[in-house]
Structure 1
């Protein structure tokens, strides 16, 4: 049991900084963030906050998938289908059912963008009623699976902002235990008034570009995105002589068990998740070369995560940065977006900048990477922490 190494052979991504892998990498290397005033959503908060928005309408997204005009795809499903297809294309997978293949997709928003648009008309407008079935979280997973032709195994994870990291973790475990040969894992979330209003109520949204780990951080920018990885057993990869982008080396999940929306002062859940991931990877803290931090730019998260990082790494904290200042916080998709960025870092032997940083948090005195920085990388650790205290860490290693 747990013999197979888990290789990553394909990636796909859509975010506010690019509609492809290449566009995302270009933006990261050239300090181009996707944070701007709201364009596509009719909301009273349009002039008050900034978001990471994908500047394509639902119609444009649907047309790129050649969907019929009477489809009932939510924005979440549309983004997910495009990103997952990109991942399959990079992995050169054509006969999807030649091997035991699964899909683990994650979302928080689900079909809420259509629900909030049509719910008042459901009783009187038959055209609106087609969106009832697209509301629940599993609908986008079903549509992605249908679009890709996956029939062996599908499931949906919704653990708030750690969702996609948990999808990666579950996919790796299914491969290691020999239950599946290949799993497409990731997450997708479209922007909706539901999430804008919810986070506005929590008073953790910034009216300016967010500044992770900065002493004067004001809050987060919401974003929308989708990203997926193709995980394959090492045995299958060698059998097919496929290119390996990276490996899923370790993973850990723990619960902070402190508060519904806040992290504990000492980051207990984050600390435990990182420790577990190191144990699974069978490496020491000093083996980590770079941390892609959760780094939401809220007063609570950055202080809590920073303390947890200090507990794990002591006085030798690896280089770290948060890429959420590029994309905004993409909720359930965040762990997959940042997995893609972590793998790009490994491939290119460079670290991406923590935008908008000026002053270290007094209690931490931790200074993130603020410029694109070249450095040999063997292990990258990526953190994803969610509401309800659900904390997850994934460690990626070089594809060798």
Structure 2
């Protein structure tokens, strides 16, 4: 049960890049992915900026090697999962006991929405292949089959903490000797349901979002997929270029304060971060950088700030929110940000917080606003805090 779990590689596709190297270049050049809606059919086009993947479904399907009628959620998943696996240099995945633990919140809803638009006009219309993969687990199974993963396949759906929880579950599978390798992370496509839902909650910003800025007015939605490859100690020794880092700690809590809001005191946030530190055997002062949950809403940023103050004051680590570039990708966010944060541990990367100008009155700590690499980051943290107070924190360690 105490066997270390290593990060062997990772892959990302999101609104700032079609691959992990593309994303890093966008961070370096300070090029966030928010823009007017281009691919999603919505009445809110021109109203709310989003961070869409810059490709239509036909182009994504060709790249993924999957049929064009498959949901966008699955296409994004396959592209990121394949990049993650290829980055390890471990060869044919069929030679390992491999698992796929993938998170999402919308499943194939992007296709279901198109079906019902036609069906409601005429019950004789609408293509049934648009609804057969509606549920979240179907997306995972499609990609697992395409990747040739057979030993263990699971879907996690816990709102915004889903992707981080996928890593935790994958690590447990390895530590219990059920599999040797797990592709773990998440995927989500933009849908009318999510855009309309967050608009109903009145937490969407009509301008590009400003996480942890005192003028913040809400979040921008995004889409994408991100996966790390978790491996056992034995497999890590076979990696051609060695592992990126170690998943040294993780924790999930649920304060159940509200259906969609975090508790004002950040109780769940604090307990998740503290639990991850306790598991890793580290002290707060050991954390050099935190990739914040940082959505840009009044509630989320304030509660996360209070939790960080409670745990880390007076010696704060460097902090920033990569959602200021990618938007909030919901079920994918924990996976995407796990890739970014694990790579931060490997390469000493600190990511910028875009559009930050004014410190919050309740927390005067300023997130970093410039990209840098080669920093000494022995231990870093990634936060993913979801609806209903489902809060998760991951700690990645260089050694």
Tell me the residue number matched to 2:310.
311
Q: 1:216 and 1:307 mapped to 2: Cα distance?
A: 18
Please give the residue correspondences for 1:163-202 in structure 2 after superposition, counting only pairs within 5 Å.
Answer: 163-202=162-201
Please give the residue correspondences for 1:361-376 in structure 2 after superposition, counting only pairs within 5 Å.
Answer: 361-374=360-373, 375-376=375-376
Question: What value does the CA root-mean-square deviation take over the aligned residues?
Answer: 1.3
SS, match of residue 368 in structure 2 = coil
Tell me the residue number matched to 2:88.
91
CA contact (8 A) 1:38 1:51 kept: yes
SS, match of residue 84 in structure 1 = helix
CA contact (8 A) 2:8 2:242 kept: yes
Please identify runs of 4+ aligned residues in structure 1 that moved more than 3 A: 120-123, 239-242
Tell me the residue number matched to 1:63.
62
SS, match of residue 95 in structure 2 = coil
- Shift in alpha-carbon separation, 1:210–1:120, aligned structure 2, 3 A: closer
Gaps of 5+ in 1: none
Q: How far did residue 100 of structure 1 move?
A: 1.4
Tell me the residue number matched to 1:29.
28
Q: How many residues align?
A: 395
Q: 2:31 and 2:66 mapped to 1: Cα distance?
A: 32
Q: 2:128 and 2:163 mapped to 1: Cα distance?
A: 29
SS, match of residue 350 in structure 1 = coil
Please give the residue correspondences for 1:352-391 in structure 2 after superposition, counting only pairs within 5 Å.
Answer: 352-374=351-373, 375-391=375-391
CA deviations over 1:149-179 (Å, ceiling 9, x no partner): 0111000000000000000011111111222
Q: 1:275 and 1:358 mapped to 2: Cα distance?
A: 29
Q: What TM-score do the two structures reach when normalised by structure 1?
A: 0.96
Tell me the residue number matched to 2:337.
338
Q: Which range moves more in the overlay, 232-241 or 270-279?
A: 232-241
CA contact (8 A) 1:256 1:267 kept: no
SS, match of residue 196 in structure 1 = helix
CA contact (8 A) 1:323 1:353 kept: yes
Q: How far did residue 350 of structure 1 move?
A: 2.8
CA contact (8 A) 1:250 1:279 kept: yes
CA contact (8 A) 2:8 2:231 kept: yes
Gaps of 5+ in 2: none
Q: How far did residue 43 of structure 1 move?
A: 1.2
Q: 2:166 and 2:114 mapped to 1: Cα distance?
A: 29
Q: How far did residue 257 of structure 1 move?
A: 1.3
Q: Which range moves more in the overlay, 22-31 or 364-373?
A: 364-373
Q: What TM-score do the two structures reach when normalised by structure 2?
A: 0.96
CA contact (8 A) 1:260 1:388 kept: yes
Q: How far did residue 239 of structure 1 move?
A: 4.6
Q: 2:313 and 2:70 mapped to 1: Cα distance?
A: 47
Please give the residue correspondences for 1:272-291 in structure 2 after superposition, counting only pairs within 5 Å.
Answer: 272-291=271-290
CA deviations over 1:200-259 (Å, ceiling 9, x no partner): 000000011100000110100000010111110012221556521111110000012100
Q: 1:331 and 1:264 mapped to 2: Cα distance?
A: 19
- Shift in alpha-carbon separation, 1:239–1:48, aligned structure 2, 3 A: closer
